[in-house]
């Protein structure tokens, strides 16, 4: 239980490290600032576009005013009323409309003149941003993969050494292996899902993954029990096969099997399942 608790806390630290790697890489590879000429080109295009928007609005307003003045002038003519003042206002509105159209054409030409340089500058900036993002993703992937490999290596080294030494800390080494395995799985899923959707097969894929994980867990449990249970039973003076108390007898009273055999080095009686001979001390 403590090993599982330790694995949970290691995974919490792993989540922090997983995100921290990405944050550090992003800050370590900053974006390239645009040059002075590129900033001028972009600012010039922005100002030209604003002027064109203002000219478009002025054209709309003067056109509306021209239509109103023309309608008032035409109504007065149709009614036979004096229309000299209305005609003057109509001509003034017409002149204002033409000036607005001239300003709009000039603003459009200025925008078209500024667009090529601004477009080239924006393409260069976008290309640099894409290259920066690609570098960030590559470095992040390499660091995360390297961290996963280091965690796996450390976990399995601890597992192997503590197991060979028969250390009481051996169960805690399993926490390191669990943490490293989950971390590596997260890295693999995070990047492999960029190329394919693991849920295309739906429930079938989930069932296969669950069955495979269960079989692997069962196999690992059996290996652990096969190595640890006989030694534990030897310490408790139990039969290494069935667990029945045997004391100093040569055979188990529970299953009838022999619980002692000659040592291959000194031929002294040796309990089956004991890692070392009690007479000569050899494995």
For 101-153, how does the pLDDT look when each residue is reduced to its tens digit (9 = 90+)? 999 999 999 999 999 999 999 999 999 988 888 888 889 889 988 998 998 89
Question: Which pLDDT value is given to residue 233?
Answer: 74
Stronger pLDDT, 198 or 24, i.e. the higher one: 24
Percent of the chain with pLDDT over 70: 91
CA–CA separation, 32 vs 27, rounded Å?
12
Question: Which pLDDT value is given to residue 206?
Answer: 62
Question: Which pLDDT value is given to residue 195?
Answer: 61
Average of per-residue pLDDT across 174-188: 85
Stronger pLDDT, 238 or 102, i.e. the higher one: 102
Strand partners, 173: none
Question: Which pLDDT value is given to residue 92?
Answer: 92
CA–CA separation, 14 vs 185, rounded Å?
12
First CA to last CA distance, the chain: 31
SS (H, E, C) 175-199: HHHHHHHHHHHHHHHHHHCCCCCCC
Average of per-residue pLDDT across 164-172: 77
pTM as predicted: 0.54
In this model, does residue 208 exceed pLDDT 60? yes
Is 184:155 a contact under the CB 8 Å cutoff?
no
In this model, does residue 53 exceed pLDDT 90? yes
CA–CA separation, 125 vs 32, rounded Å?
8
Average of per-residue pLDDT across 64-68: 92
The mean pLDDT value of the chain amounts to 83
Cα distances from 265 to residues 67, 167, 268, 283, in angstroms, run 117, 25, 8, 9
**β 269-271/260-262 pair status:** antiparallel
Stronger pLDDT, 157 or 270, i.e. the higher one: 157
In this model, does residue 281 exceed pLDDT 80? no
In this model, does residue 54 exceed pLDDT 80? yes
Residue with tokens 């790697």: 21
Average of per-residue pLDDT across 49-55: 94
pLDDT band at 197 (very low <50, low <70, confident <90, very high): low
Strand partners, 269: 262
pLDDT band at 200 (very low <50, low <70, confident <90, very high): low
Q: Which of 182-186, 198-202, 245-249, 265-269 has the highest mean pLDDT?
A: 182-186
Question: Which pLDDT value is given to residue 84?
Answer: 86
């Amino acid at each position: 239980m403590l090993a599982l608790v330790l694995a949970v806390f290691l995974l919490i630290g792993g989540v922090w490290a997983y995100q921290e790697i990405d944050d550090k890489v992003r800050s370590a590879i900053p974006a390239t600032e645009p040059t002075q000429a590129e900033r001028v080109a972009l600012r010039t295009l922005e100002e030209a576009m604003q002027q064109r928007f203002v000219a478009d609005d002025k054209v709309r307003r003067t056109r509306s005013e021209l239509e109103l003045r023309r309608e008032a002038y035409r109504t007065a003519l149709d009614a036979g009323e004096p229309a000299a003042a209305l005609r003057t206002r109509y001509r003034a509105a017409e002149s204002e409309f033409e000036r607005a159209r001239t300003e709009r054409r000039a603003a459009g030409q200025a925008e078209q003149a500024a667009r090529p340089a601004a477009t080239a500058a924006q393409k260069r900036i976008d290309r640099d941003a894409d290259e920066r993002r690609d570098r960030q993703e590559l470095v992040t992937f390499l660091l995360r993969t390297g961290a996963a490999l280091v965690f796996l290596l450390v976990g399995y080294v601890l597992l192997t050494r503590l197991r060979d030494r028969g250390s009481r800390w051996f169960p805690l080494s399993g926490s390191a292996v669990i943490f490293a395995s989950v971390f590596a799985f997260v890295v693999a899923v995070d990047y492999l899902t960029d190329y394919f959707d693991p849920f295309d097969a739906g429930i079938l894929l989930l069932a296969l993954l669950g069955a495979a994980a269960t079989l692997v867990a069962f196999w690992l449990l059996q290996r652990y029990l096969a190595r640890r249970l006989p030694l534990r039973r030897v310490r408790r003076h139990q039969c290494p096969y069935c667990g029945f108390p045997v004391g100093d007898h040569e055979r188990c009273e529970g299953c009838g099997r022999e619980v002692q055999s000659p040592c291959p080095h000194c031929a002294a009686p040796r309990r089956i399942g004991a890692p070392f001979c009690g007479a000569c001390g050899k494995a």
